[in-house]
Amino acid sequence: MSKYDDLNRIIAESKHIVFFGGAGVSTESGIPDFRSKDGLYNNRDVQFDRYTPEYLLSIDCLEDAPKVFYEFYRQKLNVDGIEPNRAHYKLAEMEKAGKLDGVITQNIDGLHQKAGSVNVHEVHGSTLRNYCKRCHRKYPADAIFTSKDPIPKCSICGGMIRPDVTLYGEGLPTDAWRNAVRLVDNADCLIVGGTSLVVNPAASLAFGFRGDHLIIINRDVTSADRMAELVFHESISEVLDKIDVGAQ
Ligand SMILES: [Zn+2]
């Protein structure tokens, strides 16, 4: 029996499978991993050099230096034109076939929904959604990315439009987090992909899993490898590609 036979056996016998993913799911679509050595944090533009990347994506920067925040945000976080990869499409196919209860993601790029996934819980928010800080009116992605105004303003009240993204210094969105915890509590199989499980509280989802089968797919070793039934240090899309949804 190969590891892939084991994987397909677990998928076949599980009734409530949940996928929990991180940056590694999107790197195959060309989105840099904020924390890898090739990622956003080491790809700083000269004009941002006086700031740390954590500051540039913090609530403090948004409030104290909004022009700097939006300049960085527009340059680095626009996902317009970026397409889902085979991992996103496979997960959407599994959900459609009734083999996946839902996706929990730390990514803010909306690629799971773009691939067709419906039950998606974005525990760090999404760059595709914005809202007015003052009146909470909702705005689409282009309210920030294509706005000519250095600081995008609400057309109703004049307040600042901000991304619906969890910034450094902010807590996780309550509803998404609660739904994610509920999904994991109800799961008999948790597949963790593309996250090194170092960022809490999101990483605590994997450590809190009490179901039957924990599967980890990540290029590098993770802190939860020892707890897992199956570990793949490989490309996520290549591993997910081996899942035979039709054979259930
Ligand atoms: Zn407003």
- 152-185, pLDDT tens digit by residue? 999 999 999 999 999 999 998 899 999 999 999 9
The tokens describing 77, both together, are 């976080």
Percentage of the residues of the chain whose pLDDT score is greater than 70: 94
Confidence of residue 186 (pLDDT cuts 50, 70, 90): very high
pLDDT of 230 over the 80 cut: yes
pLDDT of 200 over the 60 cut: yes
pTM, full prediction? 0.93
Closest Cα partner for 199 from 29, 18, 27, 35?
Answer: 35
More confident position, 53 or 236: 236
How many angstroms separate the alpha carbon of residue 72 from the centre of ligand 1? Answer: 23
Q: What are phi and psi of 193, to 5 degrees?
A: -135, 135
Mean pLDDT of 208-220: 95
In angstroms, the CA 182 to CA 161 distance is 31
136: left (phi over 0), alpha (psi -120 to 50) or beta: left
pLDDT of 75 over the 70 cut: yes
Could you give all domains of the chain from N- to C-terminal order, each with its CATH number? 3-31+83-124+171-247 (3.40.50.1220)
DSSP class per residue in the chain = --HHHHHHHHHHH-SSEEEEE-HHHHHTTTPPPTTSTTSGGG---GGGTTS-HHHHTBHHHHHH-HHHHHHHHHHHS--TT----HHHHHHHHHHHTT---EEEES--S-HHHHHT--SEEETTEEEEEEEETTT--EEETHHHHS-SSSS-B-TTT-PBEEEEE--BTSPPPHHHHHHHHHHHHT-SEEEEES--S-STTTTHHHHT--SSEEEEE-SS--TTGGG-SEEE-S-HHHHHHT--GGG-
pLDDT of 38 over the 80 cut: no
Ion ligand 1: residue ranges with CB closer than 5 A: 132, 134-135, 137, 154, 156-157, 159
Residue in the structure block whose two tokens are 């705005």: 139
Q: According to the model, what pLDDT value does residue 37 have?
A: 54
Lowest mean pLDDT among 19-23, 39-43, 76-80: 39-43
Q: According to the model, what pLDDT value does residue 52 have?
A: 82
pLDDT of 40 over the 70 cut: no
How many angstroms separate the alpha carbon of residue 235 from the centre of ligand 1? Answer: 43
Q: According to the model, what pLDDT value does residue 18 have?
A: 98
Q: What are phi and psi of 179, to 5 degrees?
A: -65, -40
Tens of pLDDT, residues 113-145: 999 999 999 999 999 999 999 999 999 999 999
Q: According to the model, what pLDDT value does residue 42 have?
A: 58
Strands 125-132, 161-165: pairing kind: antiparallel
Mean pLDDT of 27-50: 69
How many angstroms separate the alpha carbon of residue 48 from the centre of ligand 1? Answer: 29
Q: According to the model, what pLDDT value does residue 209 have?
A: 95
How many angstroms separate the alpha carbon of residue 162 from the centre of ligand 1? Answer: 10
Catalytic entry in 16, 112, 124, 213: 124
User: Annotated catalytic, 16?
Assistant: no
Q: According to the model, what pLDDT value does residue 176 have?
A: 93
Confidence of residue 45 (pLDDT cuts 50, 70, 90): low
How many angstroms separate the alpha carbon of residue 129 from the centre of ligand 1? Answer: 14
